[in-house]
Amino acid sequence: MNLFKRLPLLNIQRKPGRSVALAVLSAFLAASVFAGSVIVSSLQSGLSSLEDRLGADIMVVPYSATTKSDLSNILLQGNKGYFYMDDQVLDQLSSIDGVRQMSSQFFLASANAGCCSFSVQIIGFDAKTDFVVQPWIRKSYQKPLETKDIIVGNDLNAFVGDTIRFYNVDCRVVGKLDKTGTMMDTTVYTSIPTCKLLMKSAYENKLNDFGNVDPDTVVSDVLINVDGEHNVEEVVNDINLHVKNVEAIKTKDMISGIAGSLQGVSRLIGILMACVWFLAIVILMVAYRMVTNERIREFAVLRVLGVSSRKLFSLILKEGMIIGLIGALCGVTAGALIVFPFHQMIESQLGLPYLLPSTARIVGLVLMALVVTVFTGGMAAAVSANRISKMDTGLILREDQ
Amino acid sequence: MGLRAEKVKKDFIRKSKDTNVFTAVHPVDLKLTGGTLTELCGRSGSGKSTLLNMLAGLLKPSEGTVYIDDIDIYALEDKALSKLRNEKLGVIPQGHSAISSLTVLENVLLPLSVYERHVDPAYAMELLDMVGIAHLKDAMPSELSGGEMRRMAIARAFVTKPSIVLADEPTGDLDDENTEIVLRLLKEAAQKGAAVLLVTHEKEANKYADRIYRMNAGKLDPVL
CA dist B82 and B89 (Å) reads 10
CB hemisphere CA count around A225 (13 angstroms): 12
Total domains in chain B come to 1
The answer to whether residue B104 sits within a structural domain is yes
CA dist A165 and A174 (Å) reads 14
Q: Average pLDDT in the A115-142 region?
A: 81
Q: Which residues from B are below 8 Å from A2, CB to CB?
A: 113, 116
- Give the mean pLDDT of chain A: 85
Task: Give me the domain span that covers residue B209.
Answer: 3-11+26-222
User: Please, which residues bridge with residue A213 across strands?
Assistant: none
- The answer on pLDDT for B125 being more than 90 is yes
- The answer on pLDDT for B147 being more than 60 is yes
pLDDT band at A71 (very low <50, low <70, confident <90, very high): low
CA dist B137 and B117 (Å) reads 21
Distance from A307 to chain B by nearest Cα, in Å?
6
Q: Of B25, B110, B159, which to mutate for an interface test with A (greatest number of A Cβ within 10 Å)?
A: B110
The answer to whether residue B121 sits within a structural domain is yes
Residues A78, A351 contacting (CB under 8 angstroms) = no
B113/A2 Cβ within 8 A: yes
The answer to whether residue B155 sits within a structural domain is yes
pLDDT band at A68 (very low <50, low <70, confident <90, very high): very low
The answer to whether residue B20 sits within a structural domain is no
Global pTM exceeds 0.80: no
The answer to whether residue B21 sits within a structural domain is no
Classify A82 as helix, strand or coil. coil
DSSP string, B17-53: STT-EEEEEEEEEEEE-TT-EEEEEE-TTSSHHHHHH
Amino acid symbol at A68: K
- The answer on pLDDT for A120 being more than 60 is yes
Q: Which residues from A are below 8 Å from B56, CB to CB?
A: 304, 394
CA B187 to chain centre: 14
Alpha carbon distance, N-terminus to C-terminus of chain B: 22
CA dist B52 and A162 (Å) reads 89
Q: Which of A165, A192, A187, A183 is nearest to A175 (CA)?
A: A187
Amino acid symbol at B42: G
Q: pLDDT digits over B64-87, tens only?
A: 999 999 899 999 999 999 999 999
Q: pLDDT digits over B13-56, tens only?
A: 876 655 688 899 999 999 999 999 999 999 888 899 999 999 99
Q: Which of B146, B191, B137 is nearest to B171 (CA)?
A: B146
pLDDT band at A48 (very low <50, low <70, confident <90, very high): confident
Q: Average pLDDT in the A180-190 region?
A: 82
Q: Which residues from B are below 8 Å from A316, CB to CB?
A: none
Residues B179, B148 contacting (CB under 8 angstroms) = no
A397/B53 Cβ within 8 A: yes
Domain extents in chain A: 3-49+258-399, 52-250
Tell me which chain A residue has its CA closest to the CA of residue B96: A297
Q: Which of residues 107 through 126 in chain B touch A, CB cutoff 8 A? A: 109-111, 113-116, 119
Residues B52, B168 contacting (CB under 8 angstroms) = yes
CA dist A229 and A214 (Å) reads 37
CA dist A301 and B99 (Å) reads 8
- Rg over alpha carbons for chain B, rounded to the nearest Å, is 17
CB atoms within 10 A of CB B46: 20
CATH number, domain at B90?
Answer: 3.40.50.300
Q: Residue A92: exposed, middle, or buried by beta-carbon count in 10 A (0-12, 13-18, 19+)?
A: middle
The answer to whether residue B17 sits within a structural domain is no
- The answer on pLDDT for A364 being more than 80 is yes
Q: Of B49, B50, B105, B113, which to mutate for an interface test with A (greatest number of A Cβ within 10 Å)?
A: B113
The answer to whether residue B16 sits within a structural domain is no
CA dist B170 and B94 (Å) reads 7
As a residue count, chain B comes to 224
Residue A360 contacts B where some CB pair is shorter than 8 Å: no
B82/A397 Cβ within 8 A: no
Residue B156 contacts A where some CB pair is shorter than 8 Å: yes
The answer to whether residue B113 sits within a structural domain is yes
Amino acid symbol at B68: I
A127: left (phi over 0), alpha (psi -120 to 50) or beta: alpha
Residues 6+ apart with CB under 8 A from A280: A25, A26, A28, A29, A32, A376
